[in-house]
């Protein structure tokens, strides 16, 4: 999940001077921001980057617009545009991310593991087609249903970039990688299985041969958990809408699970947040393979002290056995 960001005064101070994209493109700044949240005591560091960075080298530049979120300058709506998208080599178009991975790894010096990540093809395709965030994914679903060949060409191109990008991050030193399919919860199981799962499977089956843990995350996945697991990943990430024990029973205890506290609980009184974090731990029942995490990204209004209190509570619970 997002771990650094606007809830931290140190991050906001840096953002006064640099844009989000400038931070991502400058390995020394990406390093600084990656390290910022570690003072709270996290067990792993997450690379500071964004799932949309690969849009630019693919030939679909975008910006983050204040108050609006990501905006793709020329959304991809036609077959001719899809044909022009580049299946780029991450060592060229995303070299700055790989440089940041190397720099962060050398700075962490084996003390804290580094998690790399990428967006998954459906979630990336939704930004390419809609041009930004979307309430109902109308244009994305329209292409999926009415132009299956164009959809497949788009998904194949994005998938190949994602596969290469995750591989390159592991080769640069990432000790685990996470695939964010944040918006798959908008699909029915049948549509997920027909139009998305084969592409995700191809990526994950390949990346899983690298021998590092592969986290496969989605939200609103209560009806998709089995299909998501079958697409691949050694760890399945779940949001808070399903109790952790129910999700784990469905996924199977031979898989690891990541989750799943509601990130808004960090805006509740600290004692409430801590009690609810302990409840997630209780549902995990001390089994090996539970990674405590939020069920989705941290929001900017989060009080940093509550983040610290929850991390301490999770560590204390683990030591209580
Ligand atoms: O340390 C970390 O938190 C890792 C960095 C990280 C970012 N984005 C940086 C970022 C990670 C893991 C992401 C993933 C990401 N980006 C996802 C998948 C996870 C999820 O939340 O579902 C998605 C969908 C995106 C796309 C994206 N990037 C959106 C929708 C936004 C919000 C735009 C807005 O104006 O609120 C972003 C911006 C973004 N990426 C921020 C951060 C810290 C916001 C802070 C800023 O503007 O400086």
96 and 214 in a common domain = yes
The span from the CA of 138 to the CA of 129, in Å, is 10
Q: What is the pLDDT of residue 321?
A: 63
Instruction: Please provide residue 8's backbone torsions phi and psi, each rounded to the nearest 5 degrees.
Output: -100, 125
Cα–Cα distance, 115 to 46 (Å, whole number): 5
Long-range contacts of 234-239 (CB under 8 A, 24+ apart): 234/208, 235/289, 235/291, 237/178, 237/293, 238/295, 239/295, 239/296
**Residue 307, both tokens:** 């983040």
- Is 102 one of the catalytic residues? no
Are 266 and 179 part of one and the same domain? no
| Cα 85 to ligand 1 centre (Å) | 23
Pick the atom of ligand 1 nearest to 117's CA.
Answer: 12
At residue 146, the pLDDT reads: 97
For 177, list phi and psi in degrees, rounded to 5: -135, 145
Q: Is 15 a catalytic residue?
A: yes
Show Cβ contacts of residue 315 under 8 Å, excluding neighbours closer than 6 positions.
Answer: 41
Q: What is the CATH number of the domain that holds 182?
A: 3.20.20.210
Number of separate domains in the chain:
2
Collapse the DSSP code of 286 into the 3-class scheme (helix H, G, I; strand E, B; otherwise coil) and give the result: coil
Residues 124 and 262 in one domain: no
Q: Are residues 192 and 64 in the same domain?
A: yes
Distance (angstroms) between ligand 1 centre and the Cα of 74 equals: 21
**Domain boundary, last residue among 203, 237, 271:** 237
Q: Which tokens belong to 222?
A: 């209560």
Residue 21 lies in a domain: no
pTM: 0.96
Q: Is residue 35 situated within a structural domain?
A: no
Which ligand 1 atom sits nearest the alpha carbon of residue 66?
A: 35
Cβ–Cβ under 8 Å, residues 83 and 153 = yes
| Same-domain pairing of 121 and 268 | no
Based on the fold, state whether residues 138 and 260 are members of the same structural domain.
Answer: no
* Active-site entry in 11, 127, 165, 192: 127
Give the Cβ contact number of residue 167 at 10 Å. 18
What does the pLDDT read at residue 243? 98
Rounded to the nearest angstrom, the distance between the alpha carbon of 2 and the centre of ligand 1 is: 7
Atom 41, ligand 1: residue with shortest CA distance: 5
Phi, psi of 292 (to 5 degrees): -65, 135
DSSP-assigned letter for residue 298: P
> In whole angstroms, what is the distance from residue 168 CA to residue 162 CA?
10
| Chain-centre distance for alpha carbon 127 | 14
Contact 54, 88 (CB under 8 A): yes
Residues 273, 192 share a domain: no
Ligand 1 pocket, residues with Cβ under 6 angstroms: 2-6, 15, 20, 46, 48-52, 64, 69-70, 117, 133, 180, 182, 297
Q: Does residue 99 lie within any of the structural domains?
A: yes
**Residue-level pLDDT at 90:** 97
Q: Of 190, 219, 237, which residue sits at a domain end?
A: 237
Quick check: is 7 catalytic?
Answer: no
Q: Which atom of ligand 1 is nearest to the CA of 33?
A: 1
Residue at a domain's end among 216, 237, 258: 237
Of 7, 11, 50, 239, the catalytic one is 50
Ligand 1 mutation target, pool 50, 183, 294, most atoms within 8 A of CB:
50
Helix 197-207 × helix 148-172 angle, to 10°? 20
- Residue 75 domain boundaries: 44-237
Per-residue pLDDT of the chain (321 residues; tens, 9 = 90+): 788 899 999 999 999 999 999 999 999 999 999 999 999 999 999 999 999 999 999 999 999 999 899 999 999 999 999 999 999 999 999 999 999 999 999 999 888 999 999 999 999 999 999 999 999 999 999 999 999 999 999 999 999 999 999 999 999 999 999 999 999 999 999 999 999 999 999 999 999 999 999 999 999 999 999 999 999 999 999 999 999 999 999 999 999 999 999 999 999 999 999 999 999 999 999 999 999 999 999 999 999 999 999 999 999 998 886
Cα separation, 171 vs 234, whole angstroms: 18
Atom index in ligand 1 nearest the CA of residue 68 equals: 35
């Amino acid at each position: 999940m997002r771990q650094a960001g606007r809830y931290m005064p140190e991050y906001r101070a840096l953002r006064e001077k640099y844009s989000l994209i400038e931070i991502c493109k400058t390995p020394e700044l990406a390093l600084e921001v990656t390290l910022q949240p570690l003072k709270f005591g996290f067990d792993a560091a997450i690379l500071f980057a964004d799932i949309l960075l690969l849009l630019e080298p693919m030939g679909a530049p975008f910006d983050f617009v204040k108050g609006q979120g990501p905006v793709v300058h020329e959304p991809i709506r036609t077959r001719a545009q899809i044909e022009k998208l580049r299946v780029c080599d991450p060592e060229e178009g995303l070299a700055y991310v790989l440089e940041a991975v190397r720099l962060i790894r050398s700075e962490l010096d084996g003390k804290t593991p580094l998690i790399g990540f990428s967006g998954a093809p459906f979630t990336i395709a939704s930004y390419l087609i809609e041009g930004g965030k979307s309430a109902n994914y109308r244009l994305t679903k329209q292409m999926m249903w009415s132009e299956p060949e164009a959809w497949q060409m788009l998904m194949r191109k994005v998938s190949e970039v994602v596969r290469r990008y995750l591989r390159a991050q592991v080769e640069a030193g990432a000790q685990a990688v996470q695939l964010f399919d944040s918006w798959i919860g908008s699909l029915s199981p049948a549509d997920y299985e027909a139009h998305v799962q084969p592409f995700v499977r191809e990526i994950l089956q390949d990346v899983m041969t690298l021998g590092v843990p592969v986290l496969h995350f989605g939200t609103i996945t209560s009806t998709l958990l089995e299909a998501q697991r079958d697409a691949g990943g050694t760890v399945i990430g779940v949001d808070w809408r399903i109790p952790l024990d129910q999700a784990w029973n469905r996924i199977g205890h031979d898989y690891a699970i990541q989750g799943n506290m509601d990130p808004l609980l960090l805006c509740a009184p600290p004692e409430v947040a801590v009690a609810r974090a302990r409840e997630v731990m209780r549902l995990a029942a001390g089994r090996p393979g539970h990674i405590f995490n939020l069920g989705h990204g941290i929001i900017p209004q989060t009080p940093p002290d509550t983040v610290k209190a929850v991390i301490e509570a999770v560590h204390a619970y683990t030591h209580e056995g």
